[in-house]
Amino acid sequence: MLIAQLTDLHIGEGRRLAYRKVDTAGALEKAVAHVMAMVPRPDVVLFTGDIGDLGSRDEYALVAEILTKLTIPYFMVPGNHDRRGPLRAAFPYATPVRADTGFVNYVVDDFPLRLIALDTLDEGKPGGVLGKTQLDWLRDVLLDGDGRDCAIFMHHPPIVTGIAHMDAQNLGAGAEELAAIVSVHRDRIKAIFCGHVHRPIHTIWAGVPLMIGPSVAHQVAFDLRADGPSAFVMEPPAMHLHVWDAGQHSLMTHLAYLDRYDGPHPFFGPDGKLIV
Ligand SMILES: [Fe+2]
Ligand SMILES: [Fe+2]
């Protein structure tokens, strides 16, 4: 089973450039074209938040128009730049909430790996929270799954990455409680997929692999200084491709670039000969 994770689209109304520089709508079009051209093609796409930039209906209408070319199943969780109401209205099939708790929490049981969507949005604020409703809901679905292997996908990472201006807006309240729940079920939670930091970052958290996916549009500058300013860079847009092997109960994550950049520069040709 192949899971493509596309994150932090930041689509602006009328194809508005993000930061007056980044063609995020064009970046999403390229990402969709890339996914659709892949052989083998991913089974499902997970959008881990910041679908829109301001969370308006017009932004989501533009996303929906671009995603008409994405003809494989896809699912979404909101990020801090999203608004639940307009997001759910535009993408009911990609946010299949069963019991309406007011949050975009749901489970996808259609694939060999169970996918659990967890809503960390604290609407209007940059940082994320998990309140009692979401934590109780997660506890229940983890007890419910007949012991099936699963992955959780959510926007805000519950970790300190070292990129200070992003750590200031990570998952705050509820992170400790989440760690306790995840730890209990660590044998069958195969991974947690997050967005928000716009960079590929990997760690083990609460006994489980946790990966932050790179943005399909623009990246956050790599800067581990404690007083590093908020800064963005145009590194190659990319995605994570998660490969789930149900027979081996193993998950592997690849980084795949989505657009042209100064490279790649092969030094072995297709005939196996060294290029000098
Ligand atoms: Fe973002
Ligand atoms: Fe975000």
CA dihedral for 234, 221, 242, 66, sign (positive or negative): negative
CA of 10 to the centre of ligand 1 (A): 6
Nearest 5 degrees, angle CA 107-CA 207-CA 96? 10
- What is the DSSP code (8-state) at residue 13? G
Distance separating alpha carbons of residues 121 and 80, to the nearest angstrom: 6
**Which phi and psi (to 5°) does residue 193 adopt?**
-105, 125
Query: pLDDT digits over 36-49, tens only?
Result: 999 999 999 999 99
Given a cut of 80, whether residue 26 has pLDDT beyond it is yes
| Interacting residues of 216 by C-beta distance below 8 A, sequence separation 6+ | 6, 7, 8, 9, 27, 28, 30, 31, 237, 238, 239, 258
CA of 47 to the centre of ligand 2 (A): 12
Helix (H, G, I), strand (E, B) or coil at 215: strand
Given a cut of 90, whether residue 146 has pLDDT beyond it is no
Fold assignment, 2-257: Purple Acid Phosphatase; chain A, domain 2 (3.60.21)
Q: Which ligand is nearest to the CA of 170?
A: 2
Distance separating alpha carbons of residues 226 and 228, to the nearest angstrom: 6
CA of 50 to the centre of ligand 1 (A): 5
CA of 76 to the centre of ligand 2 (A): 13
Given a cut of 90, whether residue 248 has pLDDT beyond it is yes
* pLDDT in the model for residue 100: 79
Distance separating alpha carbons of residues 122 and 128, to the nearest angstrom: 5
What average pLDDT does the structure give for the chain? 94
**Lowest pLDDT segment from 107-121, 185-199, 253-267:** 253-267
* pLDDT in the model for residue 20: 86
Query: pLDDT digits over 100-142, tens only?
Result: 788 999 999 999 999 999 999 999 999 999 999 999 999 999 9
For residue 109, the tally of other CB atoms under 10 A from its CB is 13
Given a cut of 90, whether residue 21 has pLDDT beyond it is no
Length of the chain counted residue by residue: 276
Task: For the chain, give the percent of residues with pLDDT over 70.
Answer: 99
Distance separating alpha carbons of residues 227 and 243, to the nearest angstrom: 37
Given a cut of 70, whether residue 85 has pLDDT beyond it is yes
CA of 197 to the centre of ligand 2 (A): 7
Nearest 5 degrees, angle CA 51-CA 236-CA 267? 150
Residues near ion ligand 2 (CB < 5 Å) are: 50, 79-80, 196
CA of 119 to the centre of ligand 2 (A): 12
CA of 81 to the centre of ligand 2 (A): 6
For residue 85, the tally of other CB atoms under 10 A from its CB is 11
CA of 155 to the centre of ligand 1 (A): 9
- Residue 274 banded pLDDT, cuts 50, 70, 90: confident
Task: For the chain, give the percent of residues with pLDDT over 90.
Answer: 83
**Helix H or strand E encompassing 172:** none
- Residue 93 banded pLDDT, cuts 50, 70, 90: very high
**Lowest pLDDT segment from 112-116, 143-147, 153-157, 213-217:** 143-147
CA of 104 to the centre of ligand 2 (A): 16
Given a cut of 70, whether residue 276 has pLDDT beyond it is no
CA of 118 to the centre of ligand 2 (A): 14
Given a cut of 90, whether residue 159 has pLDDT beyond it is yes
Distance separating alpha carbons of residues 141 and 259, to the nearest angstrom: 38
| Interacting residues of 172 by C-beta distance below 8 A, sequence separation 6+ | 127, 128, 129
**Lowest pLDDT segment from 14-23, 113-122, 147-156:** 14-23
| One-letter amino acid for residue 84 of the chain | R
CA of 219 to the centre of ligand 1 (A): 9
- What is the DSSP code (8-state) at residue 14? G
CB 210 within 8 A of CB 204: yes
CA of 273 to the centre of ligand 2 (A): 44
Given a cut of 70, whether residue 175 has pLDDT beyond it is yes
**Mean pLDDT calculated for residue range 211-240:** 91
Residue 25 in tokens: 């709508």
Helix (H, G, I), strand (E, B) or coil at 259: coil
- Higher local confidence (pLDDT), 143 or 259: 143
Domain ranges of the chain: 2-257
Given a cut of 90, whether residue 234 has pLDDT beyond it is no
Q: Which ligand is nearest to the CA of 154?
A: 2
- Residue 67 banded pLDDT, cuts 50, 70, 90: very high
- What is the DSSP code (8-state) at residue 234? -
Q: How far is CA 52 from CA 1, 58, 74, 182, in A?
A: 28, 9, 16, 29
